Structure 1
Amino acid sequence: MSAAHAEAAGLHETQFDVRVVSRTPGAEGVVLIELGPIGDRPLPGWSAGSHIDVVLPDAEIRQYSLSGPPQPGSSETWRIGVLREPSGRGGSVWLHDELREGDVLTVAGPRNHFEFEPVHGTSYVLVAGGIGITPISSMAAAAVRAGVPFEVHYAGRSRRSMALLDEVSALAGALSVYAADEGARLDLDGLFAGMKPFTTTYCCGPAKLIEAIEAAASGRQLVVERFEPKAVGAPVLQAPFEVELAATGVTVTVPPDRSILEVAEEAGALVLSSCREGTCGTCETVVLEGEVDHRDSILTPDEQAANDVMYVCVSRAACPRLVLDL
C-alpha cells in the first residue's frame, strides 16, 4: 500500500470544524476559499494532490482539492477552488452564493489518492483542464521545491475562466495555455509523441480530457484524477458472493443490486465513506483474500493488479468469496 493509501486509510478521518478566513474571486465562475482552524491548533499538513471533504448543509459530502504550495507538517490555512456548477452534483452553488467569511464549515481530511512525489532523474508533465488546475498547482509548487524539471499544460474555455493562471505562470518555466475562445487546442498525441524518456504525466480535469489523455498515453507513465466516476462495464460476477469481515467476525452475502459497503454497514461494520461512487478513496479497505473486480476511478492498473486494497462502495468480487479487513 502506498504512503498516500496508508494515510487515507488511517489518518485525518474524523470530521472537524474550520472557519472561512477569506473568499476571493479566482476566475470567472470560480471562488477561492481560504479555511483556517478554530482555536490555536493548526490544520493538518498536506502533500501535493491532496483533497478534503466538505460537509454541506444537507449532510452531503463533496471533495475539493487543496491548492498552492503543499505544507507537509501543519498548515495555518487551507485553500480550495470551487467552480460554480448549477447543473452539478450540488454544493458548488451553496459555497458560491451562501458561504461567507467567518462562517464555520465541517470538513475531514486531508487525504491523497493523487499522490505526487517528485523524484530526481524524472521529468514531469502536468496537464490541467478547467478547475483541475487546483491539484496541479500544488504539484507545480512541489516540483519547484524539489528542483525537478516539469512543464504545465492548462486548457480552459477562456483565460477569464482559468483560475490560478498567474500563480502557476510564476511557478512554471514552461507553461502552455490553451484557451478555447482563442482557438488554441491541446494536441495530446503530439505531446506524447515528443515526450522525453523517464517522464511521468499527471492530469486532472473533466471526463473528456481524461479519456483523451488515456488514449494518447499509449503505455506511458500516466496518473489521473477524475471529477466524476469513469464508465465501467458489467460486473465480472453477476451473482451473489460472500464477504468475510475479518475484524468483525461476520460473513455476509452481497447480492447483485447492493454494494459491499451497504451490506457491511448493515452487518455492523464501521466503514468510513463519503462519495459512494469510487472517486474519493474514503472507503479504502484492505483485501486479505480473494480476487477483486475493481470498479473505482482511483487505482492505477498496477495498483489494481496488486489486489491488496479495494473501494467497497463500488468494487465487487471477481470470485465467490472475499476476505476483507473490516
Structure 2
Amino acid sequence: MSTETTELMVRQQRLESDGVLSLVLEHPDGSELPAWTPGAHIDVVLPSGTVRQYSLCSDPTEKTQYRIAVLNDPNSRGGSREIHETVRTGSLLPYRGPRNHFELQPAQNYLLIAGGIGITPILAMARQIAQGDAGLTLIYGGRTRASMAFLDELAVLGGTVEIVPQDEYGYPDLEGAMAAAPAGTAVYCCGPEPLIRAVEQLCERLLGADAMHFERFGAPAAPTPGAGKAESEDSGSNGGLAEFEVELKRSNCTLKVPADRTLLDVVRDVNPSILFSCEEGFCGSCETKVLAGIPDHHDTILSKADREKNETMMLCVGRSKTPLLVLDA
C-alpha cells in the first residue's frame, strides 16, 4: 500500500449508465502507476479537499491508467456530486494508494454478488477469474437496467452472469444461488448494507461464515461496540486505558490521547494533512502503519488475521492496548 499522495490527471470521462460516471486517470507525464489487484481502492482528494474512496474497475494489466466509476447519489455526503459537477477532463486530483482489503483469495469456484455501484470492485474480480480455470457466477442487481453500469463489459466476460434489474425481475435469488454453489465456493459481495446483511446471513447458513468476503461503501447498520472508546472487551491485561501515549515517528513527537478524544483528532493536531474521510472505521483513508505497541482495533475493514498482525490500524476508531503506541505518522 502506497502512503504517498501524488496527482492523477483525468484523461477521459464517460457516462456508463444513468447517474454513473467513469473517469480514466493517468499520471500527468504518462508514466506507469503503482500496481494493483482486483478489489483495490484509491483515496481521491477532490477540489474541495474532501477525501473519498473509489474502487479500481479497469484492468490491472493497463499499467499507465486507473479507472474509477462514481454514482451521483443525492443521499451521499457530497463527494459524488462534486465529481459529477466540477471535475472535468484535464483536472488534476491528488490521490493515495492503491490499497486492498478486499483481495481475491484462491478458490475453485466463486460467487460474486454486486448491488448498484458495488459492481466496481466486482467487475475487476470477475475479469480476472474469467481468465483462469475457476468457476464463476456473478449476480448483479440494480433498480433498473438503465441504472446499471458496465453491462456491455459483463456480457463478454464468460462464466455465468445474471443481470437482475429490480423493475423487471424483482430481487435476485440469493438463496438459490448459494444452495446451488459447490462446497468451497468463495462469496464476494459489494453493495448496499441490506444486501450485505442478507448475503452474510445466507452464507453463514448455507456455505459457512468463512466463505464470505465483503466490502462496504457506507457505515454498517449497527455501530461496532466500543468504537472510538477508551475501553474494550478484548483489550487484554494492558487494555481499557482511559489515556495512552502515541509516538509519531515522522513528526518526531509524543502525544497523550485522552479518553474524550479520538486518536485521529490528536494526530491531526500535529499532522493536519493526514487523510481521513468516514471517521467510522469503514473507509480506510486514515490507515496508518504501526511500528510498535498493540492497537485496539474497532474498524470494519481489517480481517481477523490482519488485526493479529498489528501492522496497520485505522486512526479514526482505533485506540491502544499498550501504554505507548508508535506510528509511522
The alignment's TM-score, normalised by the length of structure 1, stands at: 0.84
| Aligned length, in residue pairs | 309
1:211-270 superposed Cα distances (whole Å, 9 cap, x missing partner) = 22222221242111110122223344476231342747765432333111222343x479
**Is the contact made by 1:124 and 1:150 (CA closer than 8 Å) also made in structure 2?**
yes
Instruction: Specify every segment of 5 or more residues in structure 1 that has no aligned partner in the other structure, as ranges.
Output: 1-7
Name the % identity.
35
Q: Which residue of 1 aligns with 2:71?
A: 83
After alignment, is 76-85 or 140-149 more displaced?
Answer: 140-149
Q: Which residue of 2 aligns with 1:48?
A: 38
Q: Which residue of 1 aligns with 2:201?
A: 215
Q: Which residue of 2 aligns with 1:64?
A: 54
Letter in 1 for 2:38: A
2:192 and 2:257 map into 1 onto residues whose CA distance is 32
After alignment, is 44-53 or 157-166 more displaced?
Answer: 44-53
Are 1:273 and 2:275 an aligned pair? yes
Are 1:241 and 2:243 an aligned pair? yes
Deviation at 1:47, TM superposition (A): 1.3
Q: Which residue of 1 aligns with 2:237?
A: none
Give the 3-state SS of the residue equivalent to 1:89 in structure 2. Answer: coil
Distance 1:270 1:89, change over 3 A: closer
Deviation at 1:138, TM superposition (A): 0.5
2:85 and 2:268 map into 1 onto residues whose CA distance is 35
Give the 3-state SS of the residue equivalent to 1:75 in structure 2. Answer: coil
Deviation at 1:130, TM superposition (A): 0.4
1:246 and 1:77 map into 2 onto residues whose CA distance is 34
Distance 1:85 1:44, change over 3 A: same
Instruction: Specify every segment of 5 or more residues in structure 2 that has no aligned partner in the other structure, as ranges.
Output: 233-239
Give the 3-state SS of the residue equivalent to 2:264 in structure 1. Answer: helix
Q: Which residue of 2 aligns with 1:4?
A: none
Are 1:199 and 2:185 an aligned pair? yes
1:95-106 matches, within 5 Å, as: 95-106=83-94
Are 1:232 and 2:224 an aligned pair? yes
Q: Which residue of 2 aligns with 1:181?
A: 167
**Is the contact made by 1:285 and 1:311 (CA closer than 8 Å) also made in structure 2?**
no
Deviation at 1:67, TM superposition (A): 0.6
1:142-166 superposed Cα distances (whole Å, 9 cap, x missing partner) = 1123332221111110111110122
1:322 and 1:173 map into 2 onto residues whose CA distance is 51
The alignment's TM-score, normalised by the length of structure 2, stands at: 0.84
1:108 and 1:302 map into 2 onto residues whose CA distance is 24
1:207 and 1:103 map into 2 onto residues whose CA distance is 32
Letter in 1 for 2:316: C
1:120-135 matches, within 5 Å, as: 122-135=108-121
1:188 and 1:307 map into 2 onto residues whose CA distance is 35
Which of 82, 86, 93 is the aligned partner of 2:81?
Answer: 93
**Is the contact made by 2:295 and 2:313 (CA closer than 8 Å) also made in structure 1?**
no
Q: Which residue of 2 aligns with 1:38?
A: 28
1:167 and 1:133 map into 2 onto residues whose CA distance is 11
After alignment, is 239-248 or 227-236 more displaced?
Answer: 239-248
**Is the contact made by 2:47 and 2:93 (CA closer than 8 Å) also made in structure 1?**
no
1:300 and 1:323 map into 2 onto residues whose CA distance is 21
Distance 1:56 1:220, change over 3 A: same
Q: Which residue of 2 aligns with 1:151?
A: 137
Deviation at 1:62, TM superposition (A): 0.8
Deviation at 1:124, TM superposition (A): 1.2
After alignment, is 191-200 or 202-211 more displaced?
Answer: 191-200
Deviation at 1:299, TM superposition (A): 1.3
1:309 and 1:18 map into 2 onto residues whose CA distance is 25
Distance 1:301 1:212, change over 3 A: farther
Give the 3-state SS of the residue equivalent to 1:170 in structure 2. Answer: coil
